[in-house]
Amino acid sequence: MKRPLTLEDTYQLKSITSPSVSPDGSWVAYIQSENIRGVDGSTQNLWIVSTQDEEAHRLTRYRAHDAQPRWSPDGRYLAFLSDRANELELVQDADWEKGDEEQSKHPQLWVFDRQVGGEPRQLTRRDEGVSHFDWSPDSSEIVFASRDPSEDEASYLKAIRDPKKPGPTVIDRVQHKHDGDGYLDNVKTHLFVLKVHDRAQRRLTDGPASEHRPLWSPDGKWIVFSSNRTGDPDNNQRIDLWLIRSDGTETLRLTQGDVAGLDYQFAPDGQKIALITPFVPENGYGLARLCVVNVKDAVPVASWPDNLGDGWSSIGGIVSDEVQGDPVAHARVYPKPTSATPMTVISQAFDGTLGGIVGWTDQTTVLALAHHRAQQHLVQFGLDGTFTHIMPNERVGTVLAADFSGSMTALVYNRPEHGGEVYIAENLTAFRRRTHSGAWLDERIRGDYHWIQFSNSDGQSIEGIVLAPPGFSPGKSKAPVIVNIHGGPMWYDTPQFEFDTHYWAGRGYLVLMVNYRGSISYGERFCQVIQGDWGPREHDDVMSGVDYLISRGWTDAHQLFCTGFSQGGIMTNWAVGHTNRFRAAVSEHGMWDYISAFGTDDCHLWWQDDLGVPWQNAEAYMRISPMSGLANIHTPLLITAGEHDWRCPLDQAEALYVALKKRGVPTELVIYPGEHHAVTRPSRAIDRLERIDRWLARYGGIPVQSE
């Protein structure tokens, strides 16, 4: 008999990412993540599934984190990154005594030989691991990116990582921290080429800047990569594309400082490169567009690698103390390129935003992932500016990832009834499911999605999604509402399987998710309207959605609750300071005071582009901070935070908590030790939902069975 989700079902969860289609179209490799109860953690293993049947095979079984499966062009090898234990051939006796066989400290490059079978072979043992890699067209070599410390830098890293007596962290970077990575150092990432048969490596790049995401050209002569070579990468997002001969003898500049090369792919003939970039790299609200550049337009670089600052009339970075006019415009001190990249925008007529390039299907057509009307689609773009939506072709589900080879395309497609699964199709028609990692959901009762559309206070049409409890009949029955505010803010809610929302629906709540102004996928103007003015518009859209449900008889005004994570936590903090309509609320990993956040979170460029710098525009920072509504907060508020969250730092939650305590507002603060801007351990994911259950029940929500 089917039953609703329970918290113990957390250990049933599996997620699929990174599909990779073999060159002959016979297999799809992918990464499957699953929770492990005994170690209170998760593993990410490499799997493959045939495109001809639905039998999936696990290739790796270590308690490790595998990533980035990539087939060699000849189909013989399957390479991947993994932090699994180093193989015996690369472990010295001294390492064995130190326990080096237990786990690699950084992801290394491994390869399966599908022709002879057996265990995968380790190709690298870099001190700082490997980030991205790509195969040469003849399958004999791999180019990869790796952090490459000097002797002094290696000594520093060893000192600060000493588990018994760590040395001091020395900081001299503006972008001195990043959530999940910790404090940042000055070690540069460079490119290397490795011969597969004997592991021999040669350095391809060097110098004072980092190089990332290398891709080999179809003829094997060139490698394209991304690099910020302004000399001040912490103060801008000018990530240009560069070409280097595969033997390292010549370097060309492909873009001219006016782009942020987020993703890119060679055309089949190697003469063009498709790339995704916003028009203003530092402005995250603008659409990311699909463009094409011609390789013949690349410019030789005579001074490589000592060409930092070349091609800009000014680098910017320093904010003058003498404010000239608008403090926001005054603080946008970004590099000014001396020339523009000759490129063609092929998504100009598309009002969604590009999420990633899947590849070129021929010389005139590009497959890409794109966010449009609250779903990520697989979209086919022609160089003439036309486009066709391929998947999904209904308003349910969303495409999480995709890959193709020849006529075969593979998707990770998340639908509410089973979560993300591998789907395949030949010639982009009749997609068929091939994996069943979410088959256990067939035995669970799930909620039902309802699209709603309503007007906000400005008369603008806003979309939302309601996940209703099983058996709920809109307009004929009523249920309490959890308003679940999405993060971002440049993101959106979509009809897919998510454990939290389906769990709440199974408990009997209506879960309201509003794609408020600021959400991507509804056009640039809809998103950018909140730039530098967070709070009032998003809140109005959310509350207009609440009023819509009440007016339609789905719920009553005294049955309202609110929660959200990250930007959703920020907007929950804003909501309770601007309305008393919620009986209780839960703010998760949010922020409170934007002035104190500047420099303690990892988003200084974002703040600078939106509001200028706080010492020159404190009034604007204060006006849109949730703390501006402190005196009006009376709603019981549960606050959660990660101890090492550097996206929305812990001190933001602490300041809010103490302020509410001082005012006598019911509140609790829950700090998850060691966690960053997420809750990663299964036991803590369960604890989190248990606490939300109890908090809402305490203030009139659905009773918890154990109480």
pLDDT tens figures, 682-692: 999 999 999 99
Cα separation, 462 vs 519, in Å, equals 11
Does 101 score more than 60 pLDDT? no
Question: Which domain-ending residue is among 378, 413, 444?
Answer: 444
Helix or strand run (H / E) with residue 527: helix 524-528
Does 366 score more than 50 pLDDT? yes
Domain assignment of residue 165, yes or no: no
Is 436 found in the same domain as 498?
Answer: no
Confidence band for 103, pLDDT divided at 50, 70 and 90? low
Domain assignment of residue 382, yes or no: no
Confidence band for 324, pLDDT divided at 50, 70 and 90? confident
Q: Which residues contact 468 (CB under 8 A, 6 or more apart)?
A: 447, 448, 449, 450, 474, 479, 505, 510
Domain assignment of residue 133, yes or no: no
Is 552 found in the same domain as 474?
Answer: yes
Cα separation, 469 vs 233, in Å, equals 49
Annotate 328-362 with DSSP letters as a single string.
HHHH----EESS---EEES-TT--SEEEEEEEEEE
Residues 213-230, mean pLDDT to the nearest whole number: 98
Question: Which domain-ending residue is among 427, 444, 461?
Answer: 444
Q: Give the Cβ contact number of residue 310 at 10 Å.
A: 16
Does 667 score more than 80 pLDDT? yes
Is 590 found in the same domain as 489?
Answer: yes
Going by the DSSP 8-state scheme, the letter that residue 549 receives in this structure is: H
Averaged confidence pLDDT in the chain: 96
Decide if 644 contacts 595 (C-beta within 8 A). no
Is 55 found in the same domain as 31?
Answer: yes
Is 425 found in the same domain as 458?
Answer: no
Going by the DSSP 8-state scheme, the letter that residue 379 receives in this structure is: E
pLDDT tens string 50-100: 999 998 999 999 889 999 999 999 999 999 999 999 998 777 655 655 555
Q: What is the largest CA-CA distance in the chain?
A: 74
Domain count for the chain = 2
Domain assignment of residue 229, yes or no: no
Q: Which structure tokens are listed for 447?
A: 């909620």
Which amino acid, residue 45?
A: N
Q: In the chain, what is the straight-line distance between the N-terminal and C-terminal CA atoms, in Å?
A: 26
The 10 Å CB-count burial string (b at 16+, else e) for 85-106 is: bbbeebbeeeeeeeebeeebeb
Q: Percent of the chain having pLDDT more than 90? A: 95
3-state secondary structure of 554: coil
Domain assignment of residue 354, yes or no: no
Is 652 found in the same domain as 596?
Answer: yes
Give the per-residue pLDDT at 706.
Answer: 60
Does 707 score more than 50 pLDDT? no
CA dist 459 → 454, 455, 540 (Å): 9, 5, 11
Cα separation, 584 vs 666, in Å, equals 9
Residues 25-46, mean pLDDT to the nearest whole number: 96
Is 472 found in the same domain as 416?
Answer: no
Rg (CA), the chain: 26
Domain assignment of residue 44, yes or no: yes
pLDDT tens string 385-412: 999 999 999 999 999 999 999 999 999 9
Give the per-residue pLDDT at 88.
Answer: 80
Q: What residues make up the domain containing 494?
A: 446-698
Is 692 found in the same domain as 593?
Answer: yes
Q: What is the CATH number of the domain that holds 618?
A: 3.40.50.1820
Does 353 score more than 60 pLDDT? yes
pLDDT tens string 612-666: 999 999 999 999 999 999 999 999 999 999 999 999 999 999 999 999 999 999 9
Is 649 found in the same domain as 508?
Answer: yes
Residue linked to tokens 């609750």:
561
Is 552 found in the same domain as 406?
Answer: no
Residues 270-286, mean pLDDT to the nearest whole number: 96
Domain assignment of residue 618, yes or no: yes
Is 470 found in the same domain as 573?
Answer: yes
Is 533 found in the same domain as 613?
Answer: yes
Cα separation, 465 vs 451, in Å, equals 5
Domain assignment of residue 675, yes or no: yes
Q: Are strands 667-672 and 637-642 parallel, antiparallel or unpaired?
A: parallel
Residues 587-594, mean pLDDT to the nearest whole number: 98
Question: Which domain-ending residue is among 410, 444, 478?
Answer: 444
Decide if 565 contacts 545 (C-beta within 8 A). no
Cα separation, 441 vs 426, in Å, equals 28
Does 520 score more than 90 pLDDT? yes
Give the per-residue pLDDT at 603.
Answer: 97
Helices 499-507 & 682-698 angle (0-180, nearest 10): 40
Among 643, 681, 604, 655, residue whose Cα is nearest residue 182: 643
Decide if 64 contacts 31 (C-beta within 8 A). no
Q: Which structure tokens are listed for 189?
A: 């990432």
Residues 16-35, mean pLDDT to the nearest whole number: 98
Give the per-residue pLDDT at 279.
Answer: 94
pLDDT tens string 449-485: 999 999 999 999 999 999 999 999 988 899 999 999 9
